[in-house]
Amino acid sequence: MEVFEEGSRKIIAKNDPEEHREWVLKNKPRALVDKVMGIDEAISKYVKDGDYLEYGFFGTRISMVAIYEIIRQKKKNLNVGRGGVFELDLLSAAGIVKTVERGYGGGFEVRGLGPAFRRAVESGKIDIIEWTNTAHALRLRAAAMGIPFIPTRSMLGTDTLKYSAAKVVRCPFTGKKVCLLPALYPDVGLIHVQRCDKYGNAQIDGAKVMDIEIAMAARRVILTTEKIVDTEVFRKHPERTDIPYFYVDAVVEVPFGSHPSNVPGLYYMDEEFIAEWLREAKTEEGAEKFLEKYIYGYDDFEEYLEMIGGIKKLNYLMRLEQFRETLKTPWADE
C-alpha cells in the first residue's frame, strides 16, 4: 500500500488484535460469575502503574469514584486516552499522567481552560499525542472489532495528523487518499452506568458517547453503577443491553459515583463544585488543598457525598436534571 504521509509519533497503546485474542483466551472468563466488589479492591486489582486508561467524556457518566480511587492509590505514569475535563485536571494535579493521546484535553468546555493540565503541559510534564475525538473513538471501534486499523476521512492535511501516529495511504479499492488509524486496546476502561447486574450486564440511558467501544476494546473493564439490578431485567429486554457481562471485570455499586458529572435521567453536573476546583486549582497549593480534602481526606465515598453537601446538594442536582431547579454557574461570574 502506498504511504503518502506518516504522523511523527509512535503508537503507545496495544494495537495488535492477535495479541489481544491470546490475552482474552487466557484472562477473560465466559462464566457468569459474581463480580461485585468495592472500588478500592477493583482499582488495586486491575489498575497498574504505567497502564493506558480510557474513561469517556466528562459530562456524561464519568466514573469519578474510580478516578478518585486511582489518585488515592497513587498509581503512577498513566497514559490517558482521549483526554477529558475535570477528571483529567485532577489526574494532572496529582502528577500521575505521563502521556495523553488527545482528542480534547485541557479545556473545561464552556468554563474555560483546565488550570492543572495547562501547568503540567506548559512545563513539559505531560506529553501530548494529537488525534481527534472521532478518530479516537474509531481506534477503539477498530479494537472492538478485532481488526488492526480503520480508515477515516478526517485529520487529513493538518498538523493534527503530523503530531499523531496516523498514516495517509492510497486506498487499494478507490485509489484515493485516506487516513488510517491504528486500533487501540486500552489496559483499563472505567465506565459508570445507570444500572447493571452482579455479572456486569449493563444498560446505559442517554448518549452512549464511546463507552460501548471502551467496554469491548479494554483488557480490563471496571463498571461502576448507580444500582445493581436483577439479571431478569436484561433477560426481559435484551435489546436494551449495551454492555454484556463477559467484557466486564469488576462491578461496583456507588450511587452518585459520577458526581460532579452528569448521569442522564438522575442528576445533573455540580457546577458549584467545579467552580470551587477552578478557583482553587489556579495555584498548585490550592489544587493540593482540594485533593487533600475531596480525594485523600475520607475513608469512603459516603463521607465524600456528605462533604460536597449531602442530601441537600444531591436533591438539588436531581431536581436540576428534571428542570425543576435553576442552574447555578458560579464560574461564569468569577
147 binds other proteins (CB under 8 A): no
160 binds other proteins (CB under 8 A): yes
Which is closer to other proteins, CB of 158 or CB of 283? Answer: 158
For residue 115, say if its preceding peptide bond is cis, omega within 30 degrees of 0.
Answer: no
In the complex, minimum distance from the CB of residue 180 to other proteins, in angstroms, rounded to a whole number: 11
b/e code 22-55 from CB counts within 10 Å (16+ = b): eeeeeeeeeeeeebbbebeebbeebbeeebbbbb
Half-sphere exposure in the Cβ direction for 203 (13 Å, CA) = 21
Which residues are bridge partners to 14 per DSSP?
185
Q: Could you say which residues in the range 38-77 bind other proteins, by CB under 8 A? A: 57-60
End-to-end C-alpha distance for the chain, whole angstroms: 54
In the complex, minimum distance from the CB of residue 47 to other proteins, in angstroms, rounded to a whole number: 24
- Cell numbers of 321, please? 436534571
Among candidate residues 334, 48, 39, the one with its CA nearest the CA of residue 186: 48
In the complex, minimum distance from the CB of residue 52 to other proteins, in angstroms, rounded to a whole number: 18
Which is closer to other proteins, CB of 37 or CB of 308? Answer: 308
122 binds other proteins (CB under 8 A): yes
Which is closer to other proteins, CB of 134 or CB of 231? Answer: 134
Amino acid at position 241, single letter: T
Three-state DSSP class for residue 78 = strand
- Strands, sheet with 127-130, edge to edge from the N-terminal-most edge strand: 127-130, 97-105, 78-84, 52-54, 188-193, 220-225, 250-253
The single residue among 51, 69, 89, 130 that binds other proteins, judged by CB under 8 A, is 130
Size of the site for other proteins (CB under 8 A): 67
b/e code 263-287 from CB counts within 10 Å (16+ = b): beebbbbbbbbbbbbbebbeeeebb
Q: What are phi and psi of 268, to 5 degrees?
A: -95, 175
The single residue among 12, 28, 32, 133 that binds other proteins, judged by CB under 8 A, is 133
- Cell numbers of 173, please? 479499492
117 binds other proteins (CB under 8 A): yes
In the complex, minimum distance from the CB of residue 255 to other proteins, in angstroms, rounded to a whole number: 17
The single residue among 265, 296, 303, 315 that binds other proteins, judged by CB under 8 A, is 265
209 binds other proteins (CB under 8 A): yes
- Piece of 14-22, 104-112, 227-235, 243-251 that binds other proteins (CB under 8 A): 104-112
- Piece of 38-46, 102-110, 229-237, 281-289 that binds other proteins (CB under 8 A): 102-110
Give CA–CA dist 159/131, Å, rounded.
10
- Piece of 19-27, 182-190, 264-272, 277-285 that binds other proteins (CB under 8 A): 264-272
Give CA–CA dist 129/271, Å, rounded.
30
The single residue among 39, 166, 179, 275 that binds other proteins, judged by CB under 8 A, is 179
Residues that bind other proteins (CB under 8 A): 57-60, 83, 85, 102-107, 109-111, 113, 117-118, 121-122, 124, 128, 130-135, 137-138, 141, 152-160, 163, 168, 176-179, 206-213, 262, 264-265, 268-269, 271, 321, 323, 327-329, 332-333
